[in-house]
Structure 1
């Protein structure tokens, strides 16, 4: 059969996002790690009062208003910040700018599977280093792999564990390539790798507004790194990759840190309660600093429970992959949603 694509594209399966029910569907959605609380009222006000002139004109190619708000919130100069259409776009930019055949992309597994997909699309060679059962960072193996790019998700998905900053510092000091610390879930964690960005010019920390800020539908992410590292990424990004609405709404959300922190504290409290409830049902859990829990049912029948919950109108995430097929990733919902999940599980385990 005739193909129109590069061999590397024909060979890959492509990334499969979590299930997205149709709007208005009555379902408890605990499968894609959205924040269960609404976005900042300040951000919503900006959206409702948006001047149509912002839609007529091309947007600011550097999302300057959002960069300024992020600079104010996190204490980094504006020129240390790059803005992207969701953090996934920034992951893609890094692979496109830094990796090719002969220049490996390295990461520990299990982790965010998009790293593999982006590497295969480039094309480049991925080197996957298995985590041990305790999820200790395999520093020696990662260094030996000599990656042009090394991805570390912290907190990690699907495990939820955080990589100690001391381990990341040791890794950054020994790598010759770029160290990407993917902090998509950092708003629910107790530690951040941002200090390393100031210490090392080969480190970039990546964040998103999808989780802590309840703006997954806005598609807005950003990276923080030394301007020398960002210079190549600016060459690769699309001219107008951030639309005007996302820039203005995102800037308002970034300036409302008090509201974001209030919501993330509620999620963290609910996470702790849900963990206790699941353990009482016999689930094995791993310590999580994200807005989800990585769990193993008492009978290891994860797929069966996933399907039974789906029939009851509750979505959780099941990965039918070697090493993951006996586990479930469960997004932390509101206390009411979590209680409905627990009540359903009582009849399934």
Structure 2
């Protein structure tokens, strides 16, 4: 049968998102790292008072209301920001802008598998540099790979570990291409690499409102970098990639930092409790700076545990990939959800 697609598209497997049950399905969903708590009341009030004029007109192509709110919250000039339809949109824009056939996109693995998909769609060369068991950043190997784009997720998924600022600074100084620091989970971490965008013209930090701000369904993310680096990205992004509703709701959420921080602290506290409970059940665990835990069942039968939990109405994430096939990634839920997970696992041992 004749294919209608580019050979590179035929060749790739494509990114497979976590399972999304229909709304109202009676299930404990701990598989896609959503925040278990609702969005800011201030954000919900914007939705309740929606002006139809926002729908009639095209939105601001630069999402300036959101950029100003983020600027006020983070202390970064608004013109150092680019806003996207989730941080995935911005990762796509960065790779489309900087990579092509004959150029490399480099990242340590295991990490966010979308990096590979976006690279292959662009017909660039993905270069995967393995992490060691201690998840120390393989700086020498990353520099030697000489990527047009180098991607570092910190905190990383699925491991949950953070990369030190010192290591990121050394990497940025030695790379000839763009360094993308993916901080999707930074709201649950103890550090941020944000100061590096002022130190290096080749560094961009990407963030999302999906995790810390409980707005995964809104699809809103942003990047922070020197305006010189952003200038190329603005040429490639869609003109109206952020709708007016997302911009207004996101701005309200960004202004309510105290609410976001309270929810993040609750998640961090629950993370510690769940870590201890799973350790008592014999699970192998890695210290996490994100809103999930990477776990290794005591008997190594991760896929069977995933399927058994699914039958009991609990979704966790199983990756049938090298280095991960004996592990599960578990999102931090409410204390009640986490306790039900633990009790279910006790009866599966």
Instruction: Give me the TM-score of the superposition, normalised by structure 2.
Output: 1.00
- Match for residue 146 of structure 1? 146
Task: Return the offset for 1:172.
Answer: 0.1
- Match for residue 132 of structure 1? 132
- Match for residue 216 of structure 2? 216
- Match for residue 159 of structure 1? 159
Task: Return the offset for 1:103.
Answer: 1.2
- Match for residue 197 of structure 2? 197
Task: Return the offset for 1:102.
Answer: 1.6
Q: Distance in 2 between matches of 1:97 and 1:159?
A: 28
Task: Return the offset for 1:52.
Answer: 0.5
Q: Distance in 2 between matches of 1:59 and 1:195?
A: 30
Task: Return the offset for 1:321.
Answer: 1.0
- SS of the residue 1:217 aligns to: coil
- SS of the residue 2:190 aligns to: coil
- Match for residue 62 of structure 1? 62
The CA RMSD over aligned residues, in Å, is: 0.4
Work out whether 1:334 is the aligned partner of 2:334: yes
Q: Distance in 2 between matches of 1:320 and 1:113?
A: 12
Task: Return the offset for 1:323.
Answer: 1.3
Q: Distance in 2 between matches of 1:75 and 1:195?
A: 10
Work out whether 1:233 is the aligned partner of 2:227: no
Q: Distance in 2 between matches of 1:77 and 1:194?
A: 12
- SS of the residue 2:348 aligns to: coil
- SS of the residue 1:216 aligns to: coil
- Match for residue 306 of structure 2? 306
Q: Distance in 2 between matches of 1:63 and 1:50?
A: 17
Task: Return the offset for 1:149.
Answer: 0.1
Task: Return the offset for 1:265.
Answer: 0.1
Q: Distance in 2 between matches of 1:323 and 1:260?
A: 34
Q: Distance in 2 between matches of 1:339 and 1:345?
A: 10
Q: Distance in 2 between matches of 1:149 and 1:182?
A: 12
- Match for residue 325 of structure 2? 325
Q: Distance in 2 between matches of 1:241 and 1:114?
A: 19
Matches within 5 A, 1:251-330: 251-330=251-330
- Match for residue 102 of structure 2? 102
- Match for residue 118 of structure 1? 118
- SS of the residue 1:347 aligns to: helix
- Match for residue 181 of structure 2? 181
Q: Distance in 1 between matches of 2:323 and 2:141?
A: 20
- SS of the residue 1:194 aligns to: coil
Q: Distance in 1 between matches of 2:2 and 2:344?
A: 49
C-alpha offsets along residues 156-191 of structure 1, whole Å, 9 cap, x if unaligned?
000000000000000000000000000000000001
Q: Distance in 2 between matches of 1:123 and 1:236?
A: 17
Q: Distance in 2 between matches of 1:331 and 1:299?
A: 21
Task: Return the offset for 1:325.
Answer: 0.5
Q: Distance in 1 between matches of 2:241 and 2:297?
A: 42
- Match for residue 170 of structure 2? 170
- Match for residue 34 of structure 2? 34
Q: Distance in 1 between matches of 2:263 and 2:85?
A: 23
Q: Distance in 2 between matches of 1:292 and 1:317?
A: 10
- Match for residue 45 of structure 1? 45
- Match for residue 84 of structure 1? 84
- Structure 1's unaligned 5+ residue stretches are none
- SS of the residue 1:204 aligns to: strand
Which region of structure 1 is more displaced relative to structure 2, 316-325 or 273-282? 316-325
